[in-house]
Structure 1
Amino acid sequence: MNKTIRRASVFALLLVFALLIRATWVQFYEGQALADDNDNRRNAIETYSSPLGNIIVAGKAVTGSERTTDSDLEYKRTYTNGKLYAAVTGYASQAYAPTQLEGIYADLLNGTDSRLKTVMDTVTNQRAEPGDVITTIDPSVQKAAYDALGDTKGAAVAIDPTTGKILAVVSTPSYDPSSLTDANTAGKAWKQLNADSDKPLTNRALRQPLPPGSTFKLVVAAAALEDGLYSSVDEKTDSPAPYTLPGTVTPLGNENTSAPCENASIRVALEYSCNTVFAKMAVDLGQDKVRAMAEKFGFNDSAQDVPVRAYTSVYPSDMNKSSTALTGIGQYDVTATPLQMAMVSAAIANGGKLVSPHMVSTITDNGGDVLKNYDDEATTQQIVSSDTAEQLQSAMQSVITDGTGTNARIDGVTVGGKTGTAQHGENNSKTPYAWFTSYGKADGKEVAVAVVVEQSNAARSEVSGNGLAAPVAKAMMEAALKN
């Protein structure tokens, strides 16, 4: 064999070895990544080759599966009362990645979760029967919130303070998840939903932190009582009205200029929502103490999973005193989700104990056997003393009976609450946000609620937490506490 042929043979042999090595690498090292690639059509075909498991509300499935007639994807997802539960379920789409509970539990719902496999499934390499997601949502509270919000842009959350179970998660305007399930029509719906200036795909209840306004005064009051700055909600404070922001010549006044805010007690200051009292209180405490209390309630937690991950509610750092003063009234760079403000009321209502909120009770296999119990895993933290909680409950009740929250009164129910109207836009040039957070107790039942209305048909002068958000909270509390 001459030298040229020998070299060609060696080169050809090296190419064969290279191909074998590459094939081995792809099969054993890149194979799983390729199999899991969202663009791999085989995954969609496999996922929708049989019905999916379901998301359950109060014992009834709010999801389903339906046979298709003109696709290699044999089934598609369906929804019952899709708009009502969209902020809970999210969507499972043949064209787009799943969201919310559909996304978090995709493997469980499509049968690929390893916990679902039987011995026979493993031996035959077959996909297991899908499991179900059992939620904590109370359909009556969910519907009450959805109906009460109506055509406004807003959100609402309800929590059982004693268990941490989330009873309602509503975001409006909503959307119908069914419009995104079919690959043949999802593209058009997707474009329309994303082009909508009201952003119906945004989960405002969990994923749109906004300035909480005066509802944040509850956190500042808790910090003042826990720190000993004031020993009682009825002790007079050292609070001039108006109050000049430190380091400036800018006076901070109160919305109600005739309110008795000068040196007002915490109770009176909450009743009349006195900006001057809580701005100075935040400065007297210092930003570190206010932040520490805010973080006990859940602010600055970047891993707030319920199990859908909520966006972080923020109490800022590295501020001067004038900025710290503004945080005392829930402005400057303070932001919160309705979930977060519901957690504030829940902890106060529960004697200072914050139970970790969750909207999934259990996940089960196809036979109903529990794979994981989230109710049992809920944690409880004593974030303020029972005395502080009792005092704040009393002051919040005064807000309802004698203060700015009268629209949340319910006969036969002990209600405590706090209104908020947060500035929006430069120099408050846009419509303010209307907030309300509250708790209700009756006949051994408890519920904590937070509502935000971003935009409504009300005139700017009529925008207030009591006017727009409190009636929504009232409807939710009534639904949760009914016999």
Structure 2
Amino acid sequence: MNKPLRRASIFCLALIVALMGWATWIQGAKAGEYKEDPHNPRVAIGKYAAPLGNILVGGEPVTGSAATSSTLKYKRTYKDGPLYAPVTGFTSQIFGHNQLESLYGDLLDGSDSRLQSPADALTRTRAKGGDVATTIDPAVQKAGYRALDGKKGAAVAMDPDTGRILGMVSTPSYDPGTFAGSDGSDQKAWKKMSADPDHPEVNRALRQPLPPGSTFKLVVAAAALENGLYSSVDEPTHSPDPYTLPHTRTKLTNENRAAPCKNADIRTALQYSCNTVFAKMAVDLGKDKVKAQAEKFGFNDDKVDTPVRAGKSVYPSDMDEAQTALSGIGQFDDQATPLQMAMVSSALANGGELKKPQMVDKLTDGGGNTVQDFGPAAYRGGKAVSAHTAGQLKSAMQTVVDKGTGSGAKIGGLTVGGKTGTAQHGVDNSGTPYAWFVSYAEDGKGHRVAVAVMVEDGHAARNEVSGNGLAAPTARAMMKAALA
């Protein structure tokens, strides 16, 4: 072989080796990446080639699959879509997926390796999709949804003993089935939802922190008892009425000017929702002690997973004493989700023990066999407050319902405790306030439930906005359904 021909042969051989190396790298090292690339049409074709597994509520599927005439052979369907959208999320052939549909997408479409049999792995066959069993109680969910109908708001109900989320409602809601496919009507439905000024796609129960108003007074009261500022909820405080914010001339007053707030004990201050008492209490404690207590309940944690991640609830750090006073009544820069306030009430109802909020009970394969089980777990060590503090505040919350601002939550035959809240909104409180209610109920047989409700009803008259009037009826309905 002459020299030019030998060089050409070596060059061609090098090209073949390079091509084989490139193909091996693509099929080996990069195969997984390309397989999961959402821009790869084979991903969508594979996902929708067979019916998806389902999301279960009360043991029954609230999702399904329907055959189509397109290359994506099946699309997702939803039973009572608006009712359960805050739980399921959506999966769409065009617009992707979120919440449980996203977190457990591999299990639902059968591509989760835990579902594959040896034969499936050998033949590279996708297994039958598995199911996601939630902790949601359909009676509690329906009760909350009906009670909030026509309002913009959210509600969360928890089992204090286990952390299981029994209800998660967000209104207005949306029907994820209207844009689950890939034709023109699906695109129109998505566009309509996206343009809605009330943002029905937002899960307000998890993802919209707002000022908690007077419901935050429970956190301040807990800090006062835990740090020995007061020994019981019946010990008089040192609280002027009105209260001048430190280093200012601004006088803080109470909504009810006739309320006995001067030097009131914590029970009375919660009963009448005395701003002056808790503003001064926060200053007396100092922002660091209030913050430490708030964080034991879950504030400032940006990784609260249900398993859907919740928005961070915030108790601020950089405040002067006047700002600390306002933070003590749930204003200034305080922010809380309904889930967060349900966690506060749940810890108090459970003797101070806080369980991690959990919305999924177990995962199963296509044959109903358990793939993963989720049992109760303590949140950050579990101890938010002592049993003594929890008992004291439970008693005071009962007084709020029996004799105070939370009468709308009374349920015959049940012990109910609660705290109302009306949070300022807008510059100089120019907007319609947010109405809050946090509560718990017990039936005397060891069954308990904790609920938090928030209503941001911009259509209500300002003088009609109250936690008792707008939010407590929803809490009452959910607690009654849980303990019926």
Could you say which residue in structure 1 is the equivalent of 2:67? 67
- 1:165 partner amino acid: R
Tell whether 2:244 aligns with 1:244.
yes
Question: 1:23 Cα deviation (Å)?
Answer: 3.0
Aligned residue runs from structure 1 range 74-473, under 5 A: 74-184=73-183, 185-377=185-377, 381-444=382-445, 445-473=447-475
Among the aligned pairs, what percent are the same residue?
Answer: 63
| 2-structure distance, mates of 1:447, 1:213 | 22
Question: 1:186 Cα deviation (Å)?
Answer: 2.6
| 2-structure distance, mates of 1:150, 1:376 | 32
What 5-or-longer segments of structure 1 have no aligned partner?
Answer: none
Could you say which residue in structure 2 is the equivalent of 1:27? 27
Question: 1:8 Cα deviation (Å)?
Answer: 6.6
Distance 1:4 1:252, change over 3 A: farther
Question: 1:443 Cα deviation (Å)?
Answer: 3.8
Question: 1:377 Cα deviation (Å)?
Answer: 4.8
More displaced stretch, 25-34 vs 124-133: 25-34
Tell whether 2:480 aligns with 1:478.
yes
Distance 1:213 1:198, change over 3 A: same
Describe the superposition over 1:393-449 as per-residue Cα deviations: whole angstroms up to 9, x where unpaired. Answer: 010011011111111111111110000000111111111100000001114221100
| 1-structure distance, mates of 2:295, 2:282 | 15
TM-score scaled by length of structure 2 = 0.96
More displaced stretch, 197-206 vs 122-131: 122-131
Question: 1:7 Cα deviation (Å)?
Answer: 7.0
| 2-structure distance, mates of 1:307, 1:224 | 32
SS in 1 for 2:319: coil
| 1-structure distance, mates of 2:24, 2:121 | 24
- 1:194 partner amino acid: S
Describe the superposition over 1:142-187 as per-residue Cα deviations: whole angstroms up to 9, x where unpaired. Answer: 0010000011110000001111110000000000010121011332
What number of residue pairs does the alignment pair up?
Answer: 481
Question: 1:357 Cα deviation (Å)?
Answer: 1.2
More displaced stretch, 363-372 vs 348-357: 363-372
Distance 1:39 1:152, change over 3 A: same
Describe the superposition over 1:15-64 as per-residue Cα deviations: whole angstroms up to 9, x where unpaired. Answer: 55544443333222222211111111111111111111111111111111
Describe the superposition over 1:261-311 as per-residue Cα deviations: whole angstroms up to 9, x where unpaired. Answer: 111110111011111111111111111111111010111111100111111
| 2-structure distance, mates of 1:119, 1:11 | 43
| 1-structure distance, mates of 2:371, 2:12 | 55
- 1:148 partner amino acid: A
| 1-structure distance, mates of 2:364, 2:9 | 60
Could you say which residue in structure 1 is the equivalent of 2:58? 58
- 1:446 partner amino acid: R
Contact 2:355–2:376 (CA under 8 A) maintained in structure 1: no
Contact 1:215–1:330 (CA under 8 A) maintained in structure 2: yes
- 2:422 partner amino acid: T
Contact 1:235–1:265 (CA under 8 A) maintained in structure 2: yes
Contact 2:78–2:176 (CA under 8 A) maintained in structure 1: yes
SS in 1 for 2:375: helix
| 2-structure distance, mates of 1:335, 1:466 | 20
- 1:172 partner amino acid: T
Contact 1:357–1:378 (CA under 8 A) maintained in structure 2: no
| 2-structure distance, mates of 1:437, 1:79 | 31
| 1-structure distance, mates of 2:374, 2:280 | 41
Question: 1:349 Cα deviation (Å)?
Answer: 0.7
- 2:223 partner amino acid: A
| 1-structure distance, mates of 2:22, 2:126 | 29
Contact 1:151–1:456 (CA under 8 A) maintained in structure 2: no
Question: 1:124 Cα deviation (Å)?
Answer: 1.6
Question: 1:4 Cα deviation (Å)?
Answer: 7.8
| 2-structure distance, mates of 1:313, 1:458 | 26
SS in 2 for 1:304: coil
| 2-structure distance, mates of 1:473, 1:7 | 84
Contact 2:356–2:376 (CA under 8 A) maintained in structure 1: no
SS in 2 for 1:310: coil
Question: 1:121 Cα deviation (Å)?
Answer: 1.2
| 1-structure distance, mates of 2:329, 2:254 | 11
SS in 1 for 2:97: coil
| 2-structure distance, mates of 1:378, 1:97 | 33
